[in-house]
């Protein structure tokens, strides 16, 4: 049993918290829409060697952050469910050795249905994972093939059933606004997903990211995605259906039953501190000299060599001015249905929101006040967050 003695409680007192993000960069295949830091290796990865490197970088991040109480841990990728449970257990034990990790905090593992095995899932649970996030992406085989996924619907359903059996909490992702997707087809697929869901869904619009195979196809005119109006229609259907079914929006793309929101992701959106560990991980840490933005080497083997030589794979530790922090707080907080704490934003920025800009956005129906203390985007404003942030900052 891991030193992380986790249980099913998700303790969330409304504060940003302190999260730990662990990035496992390896995948069995690269999806054509994905621009995450993921890498395919055709030879077995030396997991023990990478585990030791994670341990060393954890120790380095502890030196930067000082003593903290961890409120959530998230293991992302890549495909962390390709890890052996003992690899993950060793990494989580190192986190518990470095910081104070109370019983009951949220510990999430990303998993792909194609790499799910009952024995491995039980091993992750024994290591301390109490929440799993499944990369399902679609609930029909033709669309899964289009998205480059290695699993089929039958495997996805089996993985969901297994996750619900083993883990106290479970979420899964779907991608919508796919080529040719109709309102009726998405509504039916979404209702099917809610029937399967435990307490949380992440629902993302398909975006064409530069450098991906889908980008090349789109640029060549061989891939057409819904235009802005069609995408907005699908987004509105998403909001209406999830609200009616008891999983309302709490962030632009995330839906949960009350109390089942992702504690770790709330730490990002509430602009808390988090340590980013592993190849290509980013972090935000408050040190004795102020808040810094950290980033590590993206290429896994290069990161490994840097850690083995110098104790960490960081390539950036950039100081953030209070003005930059205020901009980030606004950008992240407006993604949340709870909105932004105006006093906190003003303390960082040294000013109140511009009254003329706020009035303009209020008249357009893009933002609204929650009493006198908070500002949030309306459902319509959620589609235009960059414009809102530009106007207000």
The whole-model pTM stands at: 0.94
Supply the pLDDT for residue 13: 64
**Which residue positions in the chain have pLDDT lower than 70?**
1-14
Q: 99 forms bridges with which residues in the sheet?
A: none
8 Å CB contact between 282 and 300: no
Supply the pLDDT for residue 1: 37
Supply the pLDDT for residue 9: 47
Supply the pLDDT for residue 12: 59
Of residues 130, 209, 114, the one with CA closest to residue 163: 130
Residues of the chain with CATH 3.20.20.70: 18-268
91-94 contacts, C-beta under 8 A, 24 or more apart: 91/22, 91/51, 91/54, 91/55, 91/58, 92/2, 92/3, 92/4, 92/127, 92/128, 93/2, 93/3, 93/4, 94/54, 94/55, 94/58, 94/59
CATH topology of domain 321-392: Arc Repressor Mutant, subunit A (1.10.10)
Average pLDDT, the chain: 92
Supply the pLDDT for residue 4: 55
Q: Let me know if 59 is exposed, middle or buried by CB neighbors in 10 A (0-12, 13-18, 19+).
A: middle
CATH node for 18-268: 3.20.20.70
Q: Which residues of 347-363 are buried (b: 16+ CB within 10 A; e: fewer)?
A: ebbeeebeeeebeebee
Residues of the chain with CATH 1.10.10.920: 321-392
Residues 6+ apart with CB under 8 A from 346: 352, 353
Supply the pLDDT for residue 114: 84
């Amino acid at each position: 049993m891991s030193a992380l003695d986790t249980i099913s409680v998700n303790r969330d007192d409304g504060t940003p918290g302190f999260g730990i993000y662990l990035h496992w960069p390896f995948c069995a295949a690269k999806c054509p829409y994905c621009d995450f830091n993921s890498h395919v290796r055709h030879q077995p990865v030396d997991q023990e060697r990478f585990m030791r490197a994670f341990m060393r970088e954890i120790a380095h991040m502890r030196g930067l952050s000082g003593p903290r109480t961890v409120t959530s841990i998230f293991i992302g990728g890549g495909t962390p469910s390709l890890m052996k449970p003992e690899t993950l257990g060793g990494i989580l034990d190192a986190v518990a050795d470095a910081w104070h990790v109370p019983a009951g905090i949220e510990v999430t593992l990303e998993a792909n249905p194609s790499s799910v095995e009952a024995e491995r899932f039980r091993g992750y649970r024994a290591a301390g994972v109490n929440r799993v996030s499944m990369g399902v992406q679609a609930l029909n085989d033709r669309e899964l093939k289009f998205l480059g996924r290695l699993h089929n619907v039958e495997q996805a359903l089996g993985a969901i059933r297994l996750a619900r059996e083993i883990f106290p909490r479970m979420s899964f992702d779907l991608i919508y606004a796919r080529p040719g997707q109709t309102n009726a087809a998405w509504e039916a697929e979404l209702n099917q997903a809610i029937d399967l869901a435990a307490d949380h869904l992440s629902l993302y619009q398909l975006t064409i990211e530069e450098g991906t195979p889908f980008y090349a196809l789109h640029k060549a005119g061989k891939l057409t995605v819904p235009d802005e109006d069609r995408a907005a229609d699908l987004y509105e259907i998403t909001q209406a259906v999830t609200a009616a079914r008891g999983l309302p929006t709490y962030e632009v793309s995330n839906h949960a039953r009350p109390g089942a929101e992702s504690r770790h992701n709330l730490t990002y959106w509430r602009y808390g501190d988090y340590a980013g560990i592993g190849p290509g991980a980013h972090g935000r840490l408050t040190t004795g000299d102020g808040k810094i933005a950290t980033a590590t080497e993206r290429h896994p083997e290069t990161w490994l060599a840097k850690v083995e030589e110098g104790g960490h794979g960081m390539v950036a530790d950039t100081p953030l001015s209070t003005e930059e922090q205020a901009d980030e707080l606004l950008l992240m907080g407006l993604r949340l249905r709870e909105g932004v704490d105006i006093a906190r934003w003003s303390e960082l920025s040294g000013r109140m929101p511009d009254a003329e800009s706020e009035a303009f956005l209020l008249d357009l129906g893009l933002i609204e006040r929650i009493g006198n203390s908070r500002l949030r985007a309306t459902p319509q404003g959620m589609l235009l967050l960059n414009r809102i942030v530009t106007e207000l900052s």
